[in-house]
Amino acid sequence: MLAEAIESRIKDLQARKQRFLHGAEMLRTLVLQCMDTRGEKAISSPELTLGITTRSPDVVVTDEAAVPSRFFTPQPPKLDKKALKDAVLTDGEVIDGVSLGNGKISLTIRRK
């Protein structure tokens, strides 16, 4: 009976943890959207600093079969996304089966 009670408590706490994580992510998204809308890149306070950074666009593979074999690492065949991203972003190469996704912005929080 105690084991069942503990199992029930664990499930309740795991659900509570997920609610807290979801709430934190929603708050983070809200702060990011507000800062982006206002055009603010950083906000400083005595306790923390909030900053928005722009990330480079991700490589989106739409047809893996059309990507040249040099972007696959041998044994087992696996797409080398870093080499693919470097070729597309750095070298400006156009590769069949690959397109660029939208760049993302992210919120950085540094505690003092």
Q: How confident is the model at residue 16 (pLDDT cuts 50, 70, 90)?
A: very high
Instruction: Return the domain boundaries, the chain.
Output: 2-54+75-91
Computed over every residue of the chain, the mean pLDDT equals 92
Task: Tell me if 75 sits within 8 A of 48, measured CB to CB.
Answer: no
Task: Tell me if 31 sits within 8 A of 50, measured CB to CB.
Answer: yes
pLDDT in tens, 49-93: 999 998 889 999 999 999 998 998 888 888 999 999 899 888 888
**Rounded alpha-carbon distances, angstroms, from residue 34 to 8, 46, 53, 111:** 39, 20, 14, 20
What is the pLDDT averaged over residues 27-44?
94
Task: Tell me if 97 sits within 8 A of 65, measured CB to CB.
Answer: yes
Torsion angle of the four alpha carbons 106, 83, 63, 56, in this order, in degrees rounded to the nearest 10: 20
